[in-house]
């Protein structure tokens, strides 16, 4: 299949209707530029006239330069008791001064009677008047046929009349919408194919939702049936269960269907763009997302990794680099020697590690993971383990004693910690106060070491995460603490596990400091 399919992004309109998503005007501008960099043809910016944020976006968008994309303003057909000249929504679309406009109208007679409370004939007039008015004043006008597939199944003649009239009135394209997300791929294919037979020369778009988990499948089925524009949101953001994920759609079009929806060069930015926008949305990135999830090319099982080393296509459907992602080999109690070898090569620490060392490392990993440790994403603790077992590093810090006191002083919480350490046969004692026992322990540890190792002043704790492991024991459950530390050059993550959160934190803190000491001494 070699036809051209236009990508049309609705993240800034439909996507913002998703629960927990709220972009500022500045955020929306940033998102629009990132999508432009991806090479998407159309970016729907929002609904001017409906809220101040969208109006602010369109004011700012006029000042921006876009290389690949056209910004699109979205609105609805005129109100039943107004003319286009005095309809505020229609006028707001023109004031946005975008090169393209998309206008939504009812195409399901159930909505016409129940939502608009007008006749079918009156609805057809709204569509005709609005599109004719806008097409005489705008470069491109798209008609969003809302609830098209539900309407087609309920009253085919009326629904087809709606889109026929839109084309006759000057629409450059018709977008068939599965608004409720309840249609199946086989229904989509048959209906789109029928519409395409009549409307061969215009843009025929597809807009699907994921309420049945079929959003992407439905979009691809529509393309196979003749649709040449496909709509979706980055990361599948949207109301209810979300819109079809445009990242997944684009990857499948390019890599599975042979359709260059965007260039191969831009396709390599897919992972970056997806992550960037999830960060702006302040939402966790879905690690299981196809193509662009962090786990999409992550391998844990020893048999899998053994095969991957020989040829990655044994357990990967594409090369991850094609979408800007990368392969990850996970270290766990399910790992085999192949996992360890791959990870050692990845981290550049294979030198000095013997076959016997690898067997010992694997055995120790299995023991540690059995008591709650997890070495995925904590490469510093893993490297420290490897260097210790292989005799390349001898830990410098030996804990002799800790003492922690906590007292509540309303409205603050103050703790003190004393540590007694042995370093290079020298016993050092230090006490410090902090905001809570972990902070006090951290300060006491650093205070004991910085006279001897002044470079530790550069190390800062940048993240601290706690997770309960095996919560069936209530407050006696194991606690997994992961600490991220950084200095002026790099960052690293370490782990500690214990039934005592302070002890777990101490283990992660010690690993963090030992890792820095190891790097300095190597």
CA 2 to chain centre: 29
Supply the pLDDT for residue 233.
98
| For the chain, percent of residues with pLDDT exceeding 90 | 62
The pLDDT, as a whole number, for residue 298 is 80
- The more confident residue out of 116 and 8 is 8
Separation of alpha carbons 286 and 332, rounded Å:
21
pLDDT for res 245:
98
User: What's the helix, strand, coil split of the chain in %, to 5?
Assistant: 45, 20, 35
CATH class of 6-262: alpha beta
Which run of H or E residues covers position 484? strand 478-486
Query: So what's the pLDDT on residue 333?
Result: 55
pLDDT, position 408: 56
pLDDT single digits (tens) 204-225: 999 999 999 999 999 999 999 9
Gap between the Cα atoms of 230 and 88, Å rounded: 29
Specify the range with the lowest mean pLDDT, choosing from 2-6, 30-34, 79-83, 516-520: 2-6
The DSSP 8-state label assigned to residue 458 in this structure reads G
Give the strands of the sheet with 478-486, arranged side by side: 460-469, 478-486, 491-498
Contacts of 295 (CB under 8 A, 6+ apart): 287, 288, 328
350 DSSP assignment: -
Cα–Cα distance, 94 to 139 (Å, whole number): 11
Please check the confidence at residue 22 and state whether its pLDDT lies above 70: yes
- As a whole number, mean pLDDT of residues 252-256 equals 97
Q: Where are the domains of the chain?
A: 6-262, 298-389, 397-521
Top pLDDT among 122 and 402 is at 122
- Which tens digits make up the pLDDT trace of 445-470? 888 888 888 888 888 888 888 888 76
Higher pLDDT, 73 or 415: 73
pTM: 0.77
- The span from the CA of 362 to the CA of 346, in Å, is 17
When pLDDT is averaged across residues 329-358 and rounded to a whole number, the result is 81
Stretch 57-62: mean pLDDT? 96
Q: Does position 475 have pLDDT exceeding 60, yes or no?
A: no
Phi, psi angle pair for 429, to nearest 5°: -120, 140
Fold of 397-521: Double Stranded RNA Binding Domain (3.30.160)
Section 352-358 average pLDDT: 90
End-to-end Cα separation, the chain, in angstroms:
55
- The two three-digit tokens of residue 190, written as one number: 């048959």
Q: For 287-334, write each residue's pLDDT tens digit.
A: 899 999 988 988 877 778 778 778 888 888 999 999 999 887 766 656
Mean pLDDT, the chain, as a whole number? Answer: 90
Q: Identify the band that residue 1 occupies on the pLDDT scale cut at 50, 70 and 90.
A: very low
Tell me the average pLDDT across 474-484.
Answer: 80
C-alpha distances in angstroms, 163 versus 120, 151, 196, 238, 407?
A: 13, 11, 12, 25, 72
- Separation of CA 335 from chain center: 27
How does pLDDT run across 375-426, given as a tens digit for each residue?
877 889 999 999 999 999 998 888 887 777 766 555 556 788 888 988 878 8
In terms of Cβ atoms closer than 10 Å to its own Cβ (0-12, 13-18, 19+), residue 447 is middle
pLDDT at res. 46 = 95
Nearest to 247 by CA among 16, 44, 3, 39: 39
pLDDT digits (tens, 9 = 90+) for 157-207: 999 999 999 999 999 999 999 999 999 999 999 999 999 999 999 999 999
pLDDT band at 336 (very low <50, low <70, confident <90, very high): confident
Query: DSSP for 231-274?
Result: EEBGGG--STT-B-BHHHHHHHHHHTS---SS-HHHHTTHHHHH
Please state, in angstroms and rounded to a whole number, the distance separating the CA atoms of residues 45 and 15.
10
The length of the chain in residues reads: 522
Burial of 461 by CB count in 10 Å (0-12 exposed, 13-18 middle, 19+ buried)?
A: middle
């Amino acid at each position: 299949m070699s036809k051209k399919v236009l990508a049309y992004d609705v993240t800034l309109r439909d996507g913002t209707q998703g629960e927990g998503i709220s972009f500022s005007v500045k955020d929306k501008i940033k998102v629009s530029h990132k999508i432009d960099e991806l090479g998407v043809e159309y970016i729907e910016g929002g609904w001017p006239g409906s809220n101040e944020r969208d109006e602010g976006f369109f004011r700012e968008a006029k000042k921006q330069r876009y290389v690949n994309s056209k910004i699109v303003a979205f609105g609805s057909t005129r109100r039943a008791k107004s003319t286009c000249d005095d309809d505020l929504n229609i006028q707001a679309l023109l004031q946005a001064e975008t090169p393209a406009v998309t206008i939504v109208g009812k195409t399901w007679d159930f909505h016409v009677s129940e939502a608009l409370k007008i006749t079918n004939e009156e609805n057809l007039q709204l569509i005709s008047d609005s599109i004719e008015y806008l097409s005489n004043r705008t470069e491109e006008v798209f008609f969003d046929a809302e609830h098209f597939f539900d309407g087609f199944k309920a009253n085919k003649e009326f629904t087809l009349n709606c889109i026929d009239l839109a084309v006759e009135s000057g629409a450059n394209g018709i977008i068939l919408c599965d608004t409720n997300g309840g249609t199946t791929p086989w229904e989509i294919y048959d209906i789109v194919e029928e519409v395409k037979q009549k409307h061969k020369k215009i843009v025929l778009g597809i807009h699907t939702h994921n309420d049945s988990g079929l959003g992407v499948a439905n979009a691809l089925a529509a393309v196979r049936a003749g649709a040449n524009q496909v709509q979706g949101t980055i990361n599948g953001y949207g109301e209810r269960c979300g819109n079809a994920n445009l990242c997944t759609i684009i990857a499948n079009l390019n890599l599975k269907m042979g359709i260059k929806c965007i260039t191969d060069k831009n396709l390599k930015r897919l992972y970056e763009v997806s992550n960037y926008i999830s960060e702006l949305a302040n939402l966790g990135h879905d690690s299981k997302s196809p193509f662009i999830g962090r786990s999409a090319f992550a391998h844990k099982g020893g048999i899998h990794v053994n095969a991957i080393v020989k040829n990655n296509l044994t357990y990967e459907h594409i090369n991850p680099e094609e979408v800007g992602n990368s392969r990850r080999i996970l270290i766990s109690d399910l790992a085999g020697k192949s996992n360890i070898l791959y990870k050692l090569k990845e981290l550049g620490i294979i030198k000095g590690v013997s076959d016997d060392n690898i067997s010992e490392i694997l055995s120790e990993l299995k023991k540690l993971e059995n008591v709650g440790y997890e070495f995925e994403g904590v490469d510093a603790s893993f490297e420290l383990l490897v260097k210790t077992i292989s005799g390349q590093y001898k830990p410098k810090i030996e804990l002799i004693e800790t003492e922690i006191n906590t007292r509540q002083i309303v409205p603050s919480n103050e703790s003190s910690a004393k540590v007694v350490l042995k370093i290079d046969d020298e016993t050092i004692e230090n006490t410090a106060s902090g905001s809570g026992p972990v902070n006090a322990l951290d300060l006491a540890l650093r205070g004991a070491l910085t006279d001897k190792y002044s470079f530790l002043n550069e190390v800062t704790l940048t993240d601290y995460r706690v997770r309960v492991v095996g919560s069936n024991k209530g407050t006696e459950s194991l606690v997994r603490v992961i600490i991220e530390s950084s200095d002026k050059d790099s960052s690293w993550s370490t782990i500690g596990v214990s039934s005592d959160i302070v002890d777990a934190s101490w283990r992660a803190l010690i690993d963090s400091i030992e890792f820095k000491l190891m790097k300095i001494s190597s």
